[in-house]
Structure 1
Amino acid sequence: MDKLKNFKSSSIFLPLVALAILVIFNIIFVPGFLDVEITQDGRLYGRVFDILNRSSSLIILSLGMTFVIATAGIDISVGAVVAISGAVCCSLIGGRGDGVAEYPMVVAMIAAIATGVVCGMWNGFLVAKIKIQPMVVTLILMVAGRGIAQLLTEGQIITVYYAPFSYIGGNIPGNIIPSPIIIAILMIALVVFILKKTSLGLFIQSVGINPTASRYAGINVALIIFLVYAFSGFCAGVSGLIESSLIRAADANNAGLNMEMDAILAVALGGTLLSGGKFYIGGSIIGAITIQTLTTTMYAMGVASDQLPVVKAIVVIILCLIQSKHFREIFNKSKKNTVKAVDKA
Structure 2
Amino acid sequence: MWDILKKVYGNRLFWPLVALSLIVIFNIIFVNDFLKIEYKDGYLFGRIIDILNRAAPLMIMAIGMTLVIATGGTDLSVGTVAAISGAAVCVVLGGNFNGVPNFPFIVAIVVALVAATIAGAWNGFLVAKLGIQPVVATLILYVAGRGIAQMITGGQIVTVYYKPFAYLGGFLPGLPVPFSIVIFAAVLVLTIIVIKKTALGLLIESIGVNSTGSRFSGINVVKIKFLVYAFCGFCAGISGLIISSMIKAADGNNAGDAYELDAILSVALGGNSTCGGRFSIGASLIGALIVQSITTTLYALGVSSQVLPLIKAIVVILICLIQSAEFRNKIMGLFIGERSGHSEKAAV
Matches within 5 A, 1:271-310: 271-310=271-310
CA–CA separation in structure 2 for the residues paired with 1:254 and 1:203 = 36
TM-score with structure 1 setting the length: 0.97
CA–CA separation in structure 2 for the residues paired with 1:326 and 1:214 = 31
Q: Does 1:19 align with 2:20?
A: yes
Other-structure match for 1:316: 316
CA–CA separation in structure 2 for the residues paired with 1:338 and 1:191 = 49
Deviation, 1:39, is: 2.3
CA–CA separation in structure 2 for the residues paired with 1:278 and 1:342 = 43
Residue identity opposite 2:134 in structure 1: P
- Deviation track 1:235-293 (CA, whole Å, cap 9, x = no partner) reads 00100110011111000011000000000100000011111111111110001011111
Other-structure match for 2:9: 8
Please give the secondary structure, in 2, of the residue aligned with 1:169.
coil
Residue identity opposite 2:131 in structure 1: K
Deviation, 1:232, is: 0.5
Q: Does 1:237 align with 2:237?
A: yes
Residue identity opposite 1:16 in structure 2: L
Identity percentage of aligned residues:
55
CA–CA separation in structure 2 for the residues paired with 1:270 and 1:191 = 18
Matches within 5 A, 1:178-217: 178-217=178-217
Deviation, 1:161, is: 0.4
CA–CA separation in structure 1 for the residues paired with 2:239 and 2:34 = 26
Residue identity opposite 1:22 in structure 2: I
Deviation, 1:338, is: 4.2
Residue identity opposite 1:252 in structure 2: G
CA–CA separation in structure 2 for the residues paired with 1:44 and 1:274 = 37
Deviation, 1:175, is: 0.9
Please give the secondary structure, in 2, of the residue aligned with 1:37.
strand
Matches within 5 A, 1:1-345: 1=1, 2-40=3-41, 42-338=42-338, 340-341=340-341, 344=344, 345=346
Ranges in structure 1 where 5+ consecutive residues have no aligned partner: none
Residue identity opposite 1:19 in structure 2: L
State the superposition RMSD in angstroms.
Answer: 1.2
CA–CA separation in structure 2 for the residues paired with 1:67 and 1:230 = 11
- Deviation track 1:78-108 (CA, whole Å, cap 9, x = no partner) reads 0000000001100100011110010000011
Residue identity opposite 1:38 in structure 2: Y
Ranges in structure 2 where 5+ consecutive residues have no aligned partner: none
Deviation, 1:323, is: 2.0
Please give the secondary structure, in 1, of the residue aligned with 2:115.
helix
Please give the secondary structure, in 2, of the residue aligned with 1:255.
coil
CA–CA separation in structure 1 for the residues paired with 2:272 and 2:186 = 22
CA–CA separation in structure 2 for the residues paired with 1:340 and 1:207 = 47
Residue identity opposite 1:315 in structure 2: V
- CA gap of 1:3–1:111, structure 2 versus 1, over 3 A, is farther
Q: How many pairs align?
A: 344
